Amino acid sequence: AQKITQTQPGMFVQEKEAVTLDCTYDTSDQSYGLFWYKQPSSGEMIFLIYQGSYDEQNATEGRYSLNFQKARKSANLVISASQLGDSAMYFCAMREGTGGSYIPTFGRGTSLIVHP
C-alpha cells in the first residue's frame, strides 16, 4: 500500500489565488513527521514546511500552510496568493521511525501551474 498518496497529478491556478494540494498518508507509528517540498524544473528540492504528528497547531511558513487532519491522515498544503514562480512539482513526504532510525517516504508529486 502507498504510504503517501497525492491524488492530483496536475493542478492549475490563477495568479494571486489560493490553491490546495492534497496529501494523505498511512502509518501505524504514533510519532512521525510530514513534509512538503517544491521541485522546480531545475531539479533541486526545496523544503517548504514541516508538521510533527504531535503538533496541535497547523504549521505555517509565509504563504504556505499545512492543513493537518490527523484523524483523516491528511496533510494538505495550502499556498495563498499564488505567484508565477510557484509553478513546480510539489512532493509530500513522511518520516517514520524513532530512536535515530528514520526512513522517509515521498508521494508521486503534484505538478502545479500558475497562470498569469
Binding site for another protein (CB under 8 A): 33, 35, 37, 42-47, 50, 52, 91, 93, 95, 97, 100-109
Q: Shortest distance, CB of residue 14 to another protein, whole angstroms?
A: 28
For the chain, the distance separating the N- and C-terminal CA atoms, rounded to the nearest angstrom, is 38
Toward another protein, which CB reaches closer, 30 or 101? 101
Q: Shortest distance, CB of residue 40 to another protein, whole angstroms?
A: 11
Toward another protein, which CB reaches closer, 85 or 100? 100
The Cα 110–Cα 99 span in angstroms is: 31
Q: Shortest distance, CB of residue 109 to another protein, whole angstroms?
A: 7
Q: Phi/psi of residue 97, each to 5°?
A: 115, 165
**49 CB-near residues (< 8 Å, 6+ apart):** 35, 36, 59, 60, 61, 64, 65, 66, 77
Q: Shortest distance, CB of residue 41 to another protein, whole angstroms?
A: 12
What type of residue sits at position 44? E
Toward another protein, which CB reaches closer, 15 or 61? 61
